[in-house]
Amino acid sequence: MQSNVLPRSQRLETLKRLRDFFNAHNSQTLKQAYDAFSLEHSIDEDELEALFNRYFVGPMEPVADPFASVYLDDPQSVMTQSTLHVRSLYETMGFFYPLKNIVPEDHIGVELDAYYQLIYLEEVKNVAYLSELRYYFFHEHIAVWMPQLIERAMHGRSEGDNAILFILNELKSFLIRETTTTRSHE
Amino acid sequence: MSYSKAKVEEILNNTISRRSFLKGLAASGVLSALPGGVLEANEDLNTKIPYSGEKSYQTFRNACPRNCYDTCSIKTYVKDGVMQFIEGATESTYTRGGCCVKGNSYVKRVYSARRLKYPMMQVGGKGSGTWKRISWDQAIDIIAKKLLEMKKEDGTLLGAALTKYSGNFGITHYGIEGMFNSIGYTTRLAGTPCWPAGIDAQNLDMGDMWCNDPEEMKDSKFIILWGVNPAANSIHSMKYIYEAKRKGAKVVVIDPIFTETASKSSQYVQIKTGTDGLLALGMAKIIIDAKLHDQKWLDANTKGYKEYKAYLDKEVKLDDVSNVTGIPLAMIKELALSFAKAKPATIWMGYGMQRHTNGGSMIRAIDALVAVSGNIGKYAGGARYGHLNTWGFNYAALSQAKPEGSVGYSGPEGAKGEFAQVGGEKAAYTDRFLNINKTARELMSAKEPKVRLLWVACKNVFAQDFDRNQLIRAFQQLDLVVVADQFFNETAKWADIVLPVTTQFEEYDVNVSYWHYWLSINEQAIKPLFEIKSDLEIAAMLSKRMNQLQAGSCTFPQSVDTKEMTIKEFNPAIYEQFGIQSWEELKKGPVKAKAVIPFADGKFKTPSGKFELYSDKAQELFGSALPKYLEVRQPYDKFRMTSPHSRWSLHSQFQNLEWMEDFHPEPFVYINPDDAEAKMVSSDDMVAVFNRQGVLRLRAKVTDNVQKGTVLMYEQHYHNSIYNVNELVDDTSSDMGAFKTGAPGVALHDTFVNFKKL
Ligand code: SF4
């Protein structure tokens, strides 16, 4: 098991890159986040953004909506029970969310941010107070829906969309590694 | 490592456990150790109050602003900033606590994952599907610069066109026209595809379109629902019809289609499409011949009865009426006489009937029938079509001055309306009006200057306007198409920039109906999601940027609050009409206008002040002073096609929601069994329906609800289908509409097609 776990700094760094990628708001921040992975496949900034929008943003129906609610509750809705469950978790973890009621809490970028901060707390600050909640957040929520997003995106993938494929693989590997680290004792 | 799911859920759900967990969290120094990111450490962590997630509901007053008779008053329940459910307001006797299936989907609509979320630009060209996310500042900058560039090059802003219609009928949404007013003289797609021929007809007859309160129908003794299907499209009106029926009234449905309402009626009369005017004339003749007409009322209140009667006597032959309408003469006689004997009696005319080349003339003939029977100006009577009697707002958002020195249209016919020539020397300018019902060809043919920028708001051009292929060409020749909408629709597909706009739950507004007499405030119940903004905020941003680039180039306020703008729409006359002191009273619930019976005082707003059976204005504008029978458009293909509204959608709105697609997952063409047999088509077969405009492929339903010789396809739009019945409709005009709405309507039920099994 232990061999699957990334070195601490790398684990955090991967998480941070994934977070930044999915939270990118424009072509520059997206390209920066993409380049941070140092992948072999290079891609033009505008091309990358067009791809990213087609997969995760819109305005047309994205290949894979980036919200947990779509996979867990209702394929067409945001701000569902799952979203409010994540809201409750964040609040219990001591987070304040400035975009509350604007961008749903279960957006992939927001969840990766929360997860990053929780890992940071444990790894950098050696604070374990939120660990159990973090495990719960991962196993009962993230690990349930993000693989579905990956699967949907892979399924809807077009030939040549390698940049997205690389990111999805990074996310997938990350999830697999995290999955092996903890489980519920029930 | 492991964790206990039960323990975590105990912390989340049990208030005592949660409180003690939060206390520990505050004490542990965790918050100061968090690195921060999208989420921040909550410095105000409240460990005292057990977690409730704002358990109690907040309620807000809203209204359904869609293009629907019912304009429901809504109560919205919000918890912790999230809409939970809505219900029809119980204070309105009309809405009476319930919405329709569409209204009940509002939570799904607001939180639909399909909503437009950010301003975006189609960088790969129109229709390419290659989109870039841009900031509001970037979007507005591009538009502002384009407008100013056009103004500089053309010397006017007539190259900028606005097309806006009924996607949101809230009063402050006229601020979109206000935005265009505030930049100068521009081009407007004017007119209405909806009800213009009927509006003209009623104005010619009565000087106004002013229907009785629908709630009075409960006391009507005889109700004719003529080409209207409220059981599907005005469900709240049905309770009054049912009540009247329970009390012994006869409810007759006259319609070419056996509708949901027909199935609930006392009698269904199937009429050949487009012959309703002749039936009304025949019925009037029968009533007069039987001396059951209200001579006293006619003498006192009408102009031209003599000429009208002479026309009936000379030109209207009852055998012809029966042959042309397809209704047995005995049935026509019985219908006419029983209608005349019942008092009060009323006729409700649907909008579909006037979407024919003879549509206005048919409404005029039916108005005349109601007049002959003495039911105009009577409680529970009336020739019902619609009204704008409660719409007397300030239109503050709409009324914006033109920037100083603006240059506009002064075409060959000179300026129109209030901008008419001053002192006979210099033409004052006006906006340029293009016919909304011929959008494609008008956009392409407008010259000097040609249209270069099109702003689309509250409207889905590709769903509602005609001749899709020509529309694509028209859009492609435009420099910049801006689509402000809630969802990505086919019009957005052909846009350069899409701007995400608020639902009514994310902004303030005020709403009234064109049918009932209730007034509702629409409060902002939730924050706008993502980067969504209201149409008014967009206008203010545009104004700010234009003024930065060129001072004085736009007069629209540079910052707005939708609540403030809504308050500005009220005036003493509205308060008086609705019996309130302040708009704030509406927070307690909707209110109804003081009861008035239209035309009960015998005062009509026609030139003669009377009900004009003979109208000089009609003669001047449309070539016939009397409501004479005008034959409908002749077929140009084998089958007539009608395309009525479906109960699952309002034009292209709602049907895109998955919830609605569960009810009605795909379109069908409804075919009469005789026609189906001749073409060897059975239910569920795939067929091609085609004509010179286009072709649609869909499944058939064989039913005698439609007449032989007619096929029916609902005007519907699906989230994952290109089906659009307007692909088969050409843009032939109805007879009337230009008088009061600026352009004639569209004879969309005079479309002809053929079909074959695939
Ligand atoms: S669509 Fe009509 S009936 Fe339905 S909620 Fe809106 S106003 Fe009411």
What confidence tens digit (pLDDT) does each residue in B227-246 have? 999 999 999 999 999 999 99
Q: B66 CB less than 6 Å from ligand 1?
A: yes
The domain limits of chain A are 8-184
Q: With contacts defined as CB-CB under 8 Å, which chain A residues touch B123?
A: 46, 50
Q: Check residue B193 and give its pLDDT.
A: 85
Q: Check residue B43 and give its pLDDT.
A: 87
Residue nearest to atom 7 of ligand 1 (CA): B71
Query: Is residue B258 domain-shared with residue B363, that is, in the same domain?
Result: yes
Is the pLDDT reported for residue B494 higher than 70?
yes
Report the residue of chain B nearest A69, measured CA to CA.
Answer: B113
Residue A56 is classified by DSSP as I
| Surface-to-core class of residue B494, CB atoms within 10 Å of its CB (0-12 exposed, 13-18 middle, 19+ buried) | buried
Name residue, tokens 């020397």. Answer: B425
Q: B440 CB less than 6 Å from ligand 1?
A: no
Please give the residue that has the higher pLDDT: either B654 or A137. Answer: A137
Query: Is residue B90 domain-shared with residue B49, that is, in the same domain?
Result: yes
Tokens of residue B86, six digits = 């809505």
Q: B64 CB less than 6 Å from ligand 1?
A: yes
HEC string of B278-317 equals HHHHHHHHHHHHCCCCCHHHHHHHEECHHHHHHHHHHHCC
Average pLDDT value for chain B: 93
Q: Check residue B409 and give its pLDDT.
A: 84
Task: Tell me the pLDDT tens digit for each residue of A60-86.
Answer: 999 999 999 999 999 999 999 999 999
Residue nearest to atom 8 of ligand 1 (CA): B72
Q: Check residue B414 and give its pLDDT.
A: 36
Give me the CATH topology for the region A8-184: TorD-like (1.10.3480)
Three-state DSSP at B81 gives coil
Q: B72 CB less than 6 Å from ligand 1?
A: yes
B396-402: average pLDDT: 92
* pLDDT band per the 50, 70, 90 thresholds, residue B49: low
Last residue of some domain: B50, B80, B111? B111
Residue A62's contacts (CB-CB under 8 Å, 6 or more residues apart) are A53, A54, A55, A56
The pTM (predicted TM-score) of the whole model is 0.94
B430-459: average pLDDT: 94
CA angle B576, B236, B70 (to 5 degrees): 55
The residue among B392, B117, B404, B346 whose CA lies nearest residue B218 is: B346
Query: Is residue B250 domain-shared with residue B360, that is, in the same domain?
Result: yes
B149-162: average pLDDT: 97
Q: With contacts defined as CB-CB under 8 Å, which chain A residues touch B1?
A: 131, 135, 181-182
| Surface-to-core class of residue B389, CB atoms within 10 Å of its CB (0-12 exposed, 13-18 middle, 19+ buried) | middle
C-alpha to C-alpha distance for A28 and B123, rounded to whole angstroms: 16
Q: With contacts defined as CB-CB under 8 Å, which chain B residues touch A92?
A: 11-12, 18, 21-22, 51
Q: Check residue A37 and give its pLDDT.
A: 92
Is the pLDDT reported for residue B421 higher than 50?
no
CATH number for the domain spanning B747: value is 2.40.40.20
Q: What percentage of residues in chain A have a pLDDT greater than 70?
A: 92
Residue A54 is classified by DSSP as I
**What is the Å distance from ligand 1's center to B176 Cα?**
23
A142-152: average pLDDT: 98
Is the pLDDT reported for residue A7 higher than 70?
no
Task: Tell whether B214 is covered by a domain.
Answer: yes
Which is it for the CA torsion B175, B180, B185, B189, positive or negative? negative
B120 with A121: Cβ contact below 8 A: no
Query: Is residue B102 domain-shared with residue B236, that is, in the same domain?
Result: no
Query: Is residue B611 domain-shared with residue B679, that is, in the same domain?
Result: no
Query: Is residue B101 domain-shared with residue B37, that is, in the same domain?
Result: yes
CATH number for the domain spanning B55: value is 2.20.25.90
Q: Check residue B742 and give its pLDDT.
A: 82
Task: Tell whether B333 is covered by a domain.
Answer: yes
Task: Tell whether B299 is covered by a domain.
Answer: yes
Query: Is residue B220 domain-shared with residue B363, that is, in the same domain?
Result: yes
Side chain identity, residue B14: N
Task: Tell whether B589 is covered by a domain.
Answer: no
Query: Is residue B101 domain-shared with residue B213, that is, in the same domain?
Result: no
Task: Tell whether B260 is covered by a domain.
Answer: yes
| Contact criterion met (CB below 8 Å) for B16 and B50 | yes
A87 with B42: Cβ contact below 8 A: no
Query: Is residue B608 domain-shared with residue B648, that is, in the same domain?
Result: no
Q: Domain of B243?
A: 196-385+598-622
Domain count along chain B: 3
**What is the Å distance from ligand 1's center to B101 Cα?**
8
Task: Tell me the pLDDT tens digit for each residue of B520-549.
Answer: 999 999 999 999 999 999 999 999 999 999
**What is the Å distance from ligand 1's center to B645 Cα?**
13
Q: What percentage of residues in chain B have a pLDDT greater than 70?
A: 97
* pLDDT band per the 50, 70, 90 thresholds, residue A2: very low
Task: Tell me the pLDDT tens digit for each residue of A34-56.
Answer: 999 987 888 999 999 999 999 99
Task: Tell whether B134 is covered by a domain.
Answer: no
Residue A56's contacts (CB-CB under 8 Å, 6 or more residues apart) are A22, A62, A63, A64, A65, A66, A108, A153
Of A139-148, B174-183, B371-380, B415-424, the one with minimum mean pLDDT is B415-424
Measure in Å the smallest separation between the Cα of B572 and chain A Cα atoms. 37
How many CB atoms are closer than 10 A to CB B328? 11
Q: With contacts defined as CB-CB under 8 Å, which chain B residues touch A117?
A: 34-37, 39
* pLDDT band per the 50, 70, 90 thresholds, residue B483: very high
Last residue of some domain: B55, B88, B111? B111
Task: Tell me the pLDDT tens digit for each residue of B199-217.
Answer: 999 999 999 999 999 999 9
B462-475: average pLDDT: 89
Side chain identity, residue B38: V
* pLDDT band per the 50, 70, 90 thresholds, residue B419: very low
Task: Tell me the pLDDT tens digit for each residue of B568-599.
Answer: 999 999 999 999 999 999 999 999 999 999 99
* pLDDT band per the 50, 70, 90 thresholds, residue A126: very high
Pick the residue of B1, B3, B656, B719 with the most A CBs within 10 A to test the interface with A by mutation: B3
* pLDDT band per the 50, 70, 90 thresholds, residue B646: confident
C-alpha to C-alpha distance for B721 and B127, rounded to whole angstroms: 16
Query: Is residue B365 domain-shared with residue B254, that is, in the same domain?
Result: yes
C-alpha to C-alpha distance for B755 and B194, rounded to whole angstroms: 27
Is the pLDDT reported for residue B465 higher than 70?
yes
Query: Is residue B212 domain-shared with residue B335, that is, in the same domain?
Result: yes
Is the pLDDT reported for residue B112 higher than 90?
yes
Question: Which of B30, B130, B498 has the CB atom closest to A121's CB atom?
Answer: B30
Task: Tell whether B527 is covered by a domain.
Answer: no
The best mutation among B70, B85, B96, B645 to test binding of ligand 1, ranked by most ligand atoms within 8 Å of the C-beta, falls on: B70
Is the pLDDT reported for residue B683 higher than 80?
yes
Q: Check residue B146 and give its pLDDT.
A: 98
Residue nearest to atom 3 of ligand 1 (CA): B100
Question: Which of A25, A103, A139 has the CB atom closest to B133's CB atom?
Answer: A25
Task: Tell whether B183 is covered by a domain.
Answer: no
A140 with B35: Cβ contact below 8 A: no
Tokens of residue B288, six digits = 């007069």
Query: Is residue B616 domain-shared with residue B693, that is, in the same domain?
Result: no
A135-147: average pLDDT: 97
Phi, psi of B557 (to 5 degrees): -55, 145
Residue B715 is classified by DSSP as B
Of A46-55, B151-160, B718-727, the one with minimum mean pLDDT is B718-727
Q: Check residue B252 and give its pLDDT.
A: 98
C-alpha to C-alpha distance for B126 and B51, rounded to whole angstroms: 50
Last residue of some domain: B78, B111, B144? B111
Phi, psi of A49 (to 5 degrees): -65, -40
Task: Tell me the pLDDT tens digit for each residue of B685-706.
Answer: 999 999 998 999 999 999 999 9
Report the residue of chain B nearest A134, measured CA to CA.
Answer: B3
Q: Check residue B416 and give its pLDDT.
A: 37
Pick the residue of A27, A89, A102, A118 with the most B CBs within 10 A to test the interface with B by mutation: A102
